[in-house]
Structure 1
Amino acid sequence: MKIALLGTNFGQAHVAVYAARTDMEVVMFGRDPQKTAHAAGQFGLASSTDMDAAFTDPSFDLVDICLPVPLHASYVLRALEAGKHALVELPLADDIEDAKRVTAAAARSDKHVFVDMFERFIPANQALFDAASEGTYGRLKQLTLWNMTAPLWPGASLGLKALPLEAMHSDMDIITRALGVPQDVTVTSVARDKDSAAIEAIFGFDGATARSSISSLMPKAWGARGGYTATFEHGILDATSTMGFDGKPSGTVTAYTAYTAYTADGPHELDLPSADQYTDMIEHVMAVLRGQAENQISPDSVLQALQLTLDIDQRVNRNRTTGQRPR
């Protein structure tokens, strides 16, 4: 497997996984020759600024797109036209019609398209999805998701313009996978400056409610913390995770049940496997390409979450520029 990795910023999260494997060859592509060579050299990889070669060189099997969001859809389409598989960072697109065009093109192609919905590979989230789909604790009634971070990524803005697509999209995927499409949405926001802000979104369903709380207002000493509380008819799953300056996350999921019929020992921490979501996501991509698994992060599987994310983005940023009150 030969991979063209486009992008030197978030692309480093992917290249660290590739570099640990022995079954692939990777070339990192970027616009700045020095920056690209430095990023690739840290992992002993070749680098190039000739982005066109990722599509015209027949030796590349997969194009991994870690470029700015407005380029995602067009580069996936270009990869398919060149007869290559594509892995694209989330979100798939910043326009739902572009996302639908990619979905249709992928359906027509014999090549695979993968969207990096990495949160689906986090064991704590898998525990939530399983409990919701299998009815382990009865019906899911209330879901609260929260993520609060300091500015841990130099040069990256986490202001109102960036938060919906860059930070809330994963929450929208969790919500739609666990509860479906909401009937109503209420959004409020606050900004400290152009690079730090917070958004609160509340979602109404038939017999259930959900909330997503995102903030980049925290001081550096805070690091990054998040989690969820999922309240079912007969129990609760409570997840917490933290990440400090070492970049190593830790987390737990605790189950609280209302009736002894569901557990004999009351509140208890779930025994979840240790996992790295990017490693598991890329392993899934490789398994699909080897014909050993069905694609679980295909474009059609992200459309509901993307539509919800774009709706929030429009409300937050349209209302901010026009002075309208979010609803």
Structure 2
Amino acid sequence: MKIALLGTGFGQAHAAVYAARPDINEVVVFGRTPEKLKNIADKFGFATTTDLDALITDPSVDLVDVCLPTPLHADVAVRVMEAGKDVLVELPLATTLDDAQRVIDTATATGRHAFVDMFSRFSPANEHLHQAVADQRYGRLKHLEVEGRTALMWEGYQLGLDSLALDMMHADFDLVTSLLGAPDAVHVAGTEGPGGRGSAADVVLGYRDAGARCTSSSLMPKPYGMRGGYRATFTGAVLEHTMSTDFNGPGAGSLTAYTLDGEKPVDLADTSPYAAMIGHVLDVLAGRSENRIAPTSALDALRLTLDVHHRLTGKTA
């Protein structure tokens, strides 16, 4: 298989996964900055190019992995599928619901596979939470708190209020909506760092018989790295997940169950969600699995993400 990887920023996390897979024959990386391309070539041994059009239309490419800036996701995904390629799009899928639907319609019209990098669905801690809710092993889920905190680890990427919901909170909203559905009420507050460098937001979500809260901050100092997790309160227990990581993406972290019987750690598989997500994509393309991260499956979270984004920025949909 030959992969076209578009983007030299966050695309490096995907590049590390491809480099470790023996079933990937070739990876070509597109970028705009020769220095960044050289760094990737030196680190992973991948070919590089600054010619996006030639790479998208290259008949030898099987899958195009889009890790470009968020406003470009939908347009490039459509171009890729119209060029006869399958496409993996970094989250979020689009910056409007109309653009998201355009991607979905193009996938239907062309018959190509489209994937959205909902990597958090492959987190062992999140999978455990989903299973616990499904089989009600701790009773009913009453409240879910999800938190993410990060330093500005990507050069030139400020994560101000104009991008915090889209680029940092979207995966958290996917977890909440997949467990509790669309909220009945949404309350949002945000603040921005000096010069738009970093921001923080608190989002409280109301449901008829449950509640949720998502908080995110990109105001942390560089040594802090990235940390987060969730606290899920059931009628019979509390599940608490904590995670810390670096540029290469979240690890398994720790998960603890608190019940009337005491405190008990939950064993988690030592699995990278990014590696598991890409593995799933390749399994689908090989006919070994059904697509768990199709664009239609991301729409509920995208609706909430865009709602919060518009409230944080003061822009209308």
- Whether these two folds match at TM > 0.5 is yes
Provide the C-alpha distance between the structure 1 equivalents of 2:256 and 2:91, rounded to a whole number of angstroms: 29
Letter in 1 for 2:208: D
Question: Contact 2:230 / 2:242 at 8 angstroms: preserved in 1?
Answer: yes
1:305 to 297, 301, 308: 301
Aligned length: 314
Question: Contact 2:89 / 2:117 at 8 angstroms: preserved in 1?
Answer: yes
CA deviations on 1:159-206 (whole Å, 9 max, x unpaired) are 111211111101110110111000110001112220121100000112
1:112 aligned onto 2:90: no
CA deviations on 1:80-115 (whole Å, 9 max, x unpaired) are 111110001000001111001111222333221011
1:204 aligned onto 2:206: yes
Provide the C-alpha distance between the structure 1 equivalents of 2:3 and 2:297, rounded to a whole number of angstroms: 24
2:279 to 272, 276, 283: 283
2:312 to 286, 295, 316: 316
1:266 aligned onto 2:262: yes
Provide the C-alpha distance between the structure 1 equivalents of 2:42 and 2:200, rounded to a whole number of angstroms: 37
Equivalent residue, structure 2, for 1:76: 77
CA deviations on 1:278-315 (whole Å, 9 max, x unpaired) are 11111001111110101001000000100100000000
- TM-score for the superposition, normalised by structure 2: 0.94
Equivalent residue, structure 2, for 1:95: 96
Q: CA deviation at 1:34?
A: 3.6
Question: Contact 2:250 / 2:272 at 8 angstroms: preserved in 1?
Answer: no
More displaced 10-residue stretch of structure 1: 49-58 or 278-287 = 49-58
- TM-score for the superposition, normalised by structure 1: 0.91
Provide the C-alpha distance between the structure 1 equivalents of 2:305 and 2:279, rounded to a whole number of angstroms: 27
Provide the C-alpha distance between the structure 2 equivalents of 1:287 and 1:247, rounded to a whole number of angstroms: 21
Letter in 2 for 1:279: A
Question: Which secondary structure state, in structure 2, belongs to the residue aligned with residue 143 of structure 1?
Answer: strand
Question: Contact 2:122 / 2:273 at 8 angstroms: preserved in 1?
Answer: yes
Correspondence list, 1:90-239, <5 A: 90-193=91-194, 194-239=196-241
Provide the C-alpha distance between the structure 1 equivalents of 2:199 and 2:92, rounded to a whole number of angstroms: 20
**Identity score, percent:** 51
Question: Which secondary structure state, in structure 2, belongs to the residue aligned with residue 58 of structure 1?
Answer: coil
Question: Contact 1:37 / 1:48 at 8 angstroms: preserved in 2?
Answer: no
Question: Which secondary structure state, in structure 2, belongs to the residue aligned with residue 60 of structure 1?
Answer: coil
Provide the C-alpha distance between the structure 2 equivalents of 1:125 and 1:112, rounded to a whole number of angstroms: 25
Provide the C-alpha distance between the structure 2 equivalents of 1:147 and 1:90, rounded to a whole number of angstroms: 16
Provide the C-alpha distance between the structure 2 equivalents of 1:245 and 1:311, rounded to a whole number of angstroms: 28
Q: CA deviation at 1:245?
A: 8.1
Question: Which secondary structure state, in structure 1, belongs to the residue aligned with residue 298 of structure 2?
Answer: helix
Provide the C-alpha distance between the structure 2 equivalents of 1:153 and 1:141, rounded to a whole number of angstroms: 36
Letter in 2 for 1:37: K
CA deviations on 1:6-56 (whole Å, 9 max, x unpaired) are 111111111111111121211111122343233223211111111112222
Correspondence list, 1:47-58, <5 A: 47-58=48-59
Backbone CA RMSD of aligned residues: 1.8
Equivalent residue, structure 1, for 2:21: 21
